[in-house]
Structure 1
């Protein structure tokens, strides 16, 4: 939607390294998680009963199965490694959680050393606050003259899923940060490479900030993950502070026959499908250094996980399309051949690791289509039947995907070439089935994205669907606002210039077109398109010089121009 803005200045944008909507805030600058993490986490299968033997076995299986060679390198110990009494967590001499020595007789460092010896990385778990036992016994804060009672707010508790009894910290007191630093330093000394802080919500921003500072001061690179069901209203905060953040509650169904719903099945189709809407809401916040985490990947142990083979392929397809961390939750010592083939499919892994989070372009009943454009100009498209009964025919036009003409299509699950496909793509899918393709536009005309041009009195935005590249230009509502494209021509002569634009008003938004400083057409009409997400093409002929040229589109009225997506030259 067009809006009034103060007069801006000239802005020159370079070519984006990765193609996707521009992030609304910088990612964490800790230099980690440039691509989504891959590995295994203990919660789904091991649940409340982790121990040293189980963790070592899973680490060994990650290597022997060949998964580690494909990039699955994290071995993450989740909750329930701690020792509890009637008052909550048992603590060490400095008030930090004590590890249950009956479960981990060698200690956490010995486990991390085993993981590292396998060429893998070790992950650990914590929640915010300070344990009640630390406060009751008034434990000293390591390296300071402060004590637990100086820093604890005993009127408020934190969310905790195990021993409970975690008091909030008074971050106005310097001892609070010192306490978190001491805990982070202990983890670093053990060899922790990845830390999940659970129980995060809108009230715990100060805790996340404290842990971010603490991890940085250790001097050890530790990937920082937040959990769970974080509010999207604070998305820019999570992106600034962490490398991933859980967008929903657990993917586990807790519907197994064991205590607390443990055992198989681990999940169900409804828990997976619920991530589709979540992914659409969070899509814009994913990018190098920070990722939307949709929880564990429940593939490995066949149908008993609660998903049939079609659903498991859709599960992996979607996590890859939305560039989510691929952290397995299954038993790696009992992988089926079918699931191992899914998990080691390099084409699917590449879709996840391209670092581009897909957008949803079709959402109609059980039919969904998602698309993303990779840095080389190819489009990755996933079509889904999310239903539980009946086949469904799912279609998408290339225009919805982001280009026109025909494309060379490859099925990414099988690797089979499907030849040249014109205008649109259709698949008839079983319930829960997916089709994942790579579409390479055929002999595309030179295209220049508006967001890569010089912009005067305007801004790059991505809040309306259907654009190509990383966004579109929303010019200010003033006469004289412009977008100027630098284009090259192999030889001089006439070209067909096609301008892709959107005009969600009911009035014309004319623009003056100049080529190399000379007016080629004054007051060129850009009429209404129906909505700001409905894009139209306007074509005219221009004459270019051999070599470098400039093409400028300038708002001709006080309302400025339409939203500009790109120009093409043929």
Structure 2
């Protein structure tokens, strides 16, 4: 009898322990069905750094609508660092009352009323890069607040993370977001230090592949302990990463500098075109309130955006380099191809005589073949918005310094 009672007690206790333990199993996988094409939106950091407030964010949302950017596909208005106030007695985060007097929930409601979505920023460490309260130790509380406020997108940085391992830290915030229950895009921002492309596919929706972008076309900004990279430097650092990108999980070469005044109009075009070919998130970083027509024209070019937003989700690749001109290709839905000719020469216009039929191009990563000997393609110039004939004859063009030609090839049936 004693043995029976003992066994019953063991079984009861075991059931309680295992049942209790199952209540604490975490779901370390991101929300599915989000960012099936590269996210498009705006972020405050490149232009405003820590100078963020409620009125300015509302105005950026208004400008995204009035400029035509929303209609072109942009949807996220993302507040970067320095929105934070502090934590209350229970540890819950609250915004800076002077900068955001109405609170984040009211701001989110306003942004949503415009047909847009609101993003916010935090950090895996004890403090953000701007010295505000980070999420370390408060991940589940912060996620609850973001859900309560109606946040749609979280950029999660990597400053002040002493002793943390990136994969574990990002899985923690993913579990917190899942527990909070509101679907959010998670932007992993650990600068590519721990090769997130190898582990983050089921953790986040996009991951930074490099350190910060710097507002120049072809230079490096040395900050002593770290470096920021020009557009071309970041482009070069994407080599070998394309096989990791696809619907719902994107390589992120950082935000756009288009319209921030340091790049020439040609360089703005080239910057935007190459991010489109990379299937990169298109997150504008300029002041949307005072854009000139040239900047609006770059950011809302629907033909170039269509290459970026192609549902196949295949990242483009550099096919060749000749006389400072790089040729890039990107397989597209329906058998189409995006092709870019990029002139990296700073001071010389380069003439290109491209024979479409010279070689059969095989993309082994995407399992796609471009064979213009078997299929004739129409050639459409995505910037000038004109037809350039078809691939039965060579393409003869001149490309100014730091400029591009972007064409879309479409099979002629």
Which range, TM-score by smaller chain?
Answer: 0.7 to 0.9
Deviation at 1:38, TM superposition (A): 0.8
Deviation by residue 1:349-385 (Cα, 9 ceiling, x = unmatched): 1111002211110134622111012121111100100
Structure whose alpha-carbon radius of gyration is higher:
1
Aligned to 1:119: 115
Following superposition, the deviation at residue 326 of structure 1 comes to 0.9
Out of 272, 279, 282, the residue aligned to residue 326 of structure 1 is 282
1:309 aligned to which of 265, 285, 289: 265
Q: Distance in 2 between matches of 1:343 and 1:167?
A: 33
Going from structure 1 to structure 2, the CA distance change for 1:228 and 1:424 (only over 3 Å counts) comes to farther
Q: Any idea what SS the aligned residue of 1:240 has?
A: coil
State how 1:68-467 maps to structure 2 within 5 Å. Answer: 68-83=70-85, 90-130=86-126, 160-163=128-131, 179-199=138-158, 203-231=165-193, 233-253=195-215, 271-300=230-259, 305-354=261-310, 355-364=313-322, 366-394=324-352, 396-398=354-356, 399=359, 401=361, 402-405=370-373, 406-422=376-392, 424-442=394-412
Q: Which residue does 1:54 correspond to in 2?
A: 56
**CA distance, structure 1, for counterparts of residue 343 and residue 210 of structure 2:** 22
Q: State the shift of 1:308 in Å.
A: 0.7
Offset at 1:164? 6.7
Deviation at 1:166, TM superposition (A): 5.9
TM-score by length of 1: 0.59
Deviation (angstroms), 1:393: 3.2
**Counterpart contact for 2:214–2:231, Cα < 8 Å:** no
Q: Which has the higher helix share?
A: 2
Residues in 2 aligned to 1:98 and 1:320: alpha-carbon distance in whole angstroms = 36
Task: Confirm or deny: 8 A CA contact 2:188 2:204 kept in the other structure.
Answer: yes
Whether contact under 8 Å (2:31, 2:184) holds in the other structure is no
Query: How many Å separate the matches in 2 of 1:365 and 1:245?
Result: 33
Larger strand fraction of residues: 1
Q: Secondary structure of the equivalent of 1:239? A: coil
- Return closer, same or farther for 1:53/1:203 CA change in 2, 3 Å cut-off: same
**Residue aligned with 2:147, SS:** helix
Residues 395 and 384 (structure 1), Cα distance of their counterparts in 2 relative to 1, 3 Å cut: farther
Cα distance in 1 for residues equivalent to 2:83 and 2:135: 20
Shift of 1:288: 0.3
CA distance in 2, matches of 1:433, 1:408: 22
Q: Secondary structure at the match of 1:206?
A: helix
Contact 2:125 2:158 in 1 (8 A): no
- Tell me the secondary structure at the aligned position of residue 95 of structure 2: coil
Instruction: Work out the CA distance in 2 between the residues paired with 1:194 and 1:167.
Output: 15
Q: Which residue of 1 aligns with 2:68?
A: 66
**Would you say the 8 A contact 2:337–2:410 is kept in 1?**
yes
Task: Label 1:427 to 1:285 Cα distance change in 2 as closer, same or farther (>3 A).
Answer: farther
Question: Could you tell me which residue of structure 2 aligns to residue 461 of structure 1?
Answer: none
- Cα distance in 2 between the residues matched to 1:184 and 1:57: 26
Using the size of structure 2 for normalisation, the TM-score is 0.80
Residues in 2 aligned to 1:432 and 1:44: alpha-carbon distance in whole angstroms: 22
Contact 2:323 2:350 in 1 (8 A): no
Q: Which range is displaced more, 61-70 or 422-431?
A: 422-431
**Residues paired across the two proteins, number:** 359
Shift of 1:314: 0.7
TM superposition shift of 1:241: 0.7
Partners of 1:66 and 1:54 lie apart in 2 by 18
Unaligned runs of 5+ in 1: 1-26, 84-89, 132-159, 170-178, 255-260, 262-267, 444-570
Q: In 2 relative to 1, CA 65–217 (structure 1 residues): closer, same or farther, beyond 3 Å?
A: same
- Name the CA distance, whole Å, in 2 between partners of 1:319 and 1:378: 18
Equivalent-residue separation in structure 2 for 1:232 and 1:130 (angstroms): 19
* Compared CA separation, residues 118 and 168, structure 1 to 2 (3 A): closer
| CA offsets 1:199-245 (integer angstroms, 9 cap, x no match) | 17982211100111111122211011011421373412122210011
CA change 1:165–1:193 in 2 (3 A) is closer
Deviations 1:135-181 (A, max 9, x none): xxxxxxxxxxxxxxxxxxxxxxxxx4121786965xxxxxxxxx422
Contact 2:35 2:249 in 1 (8 A): yes
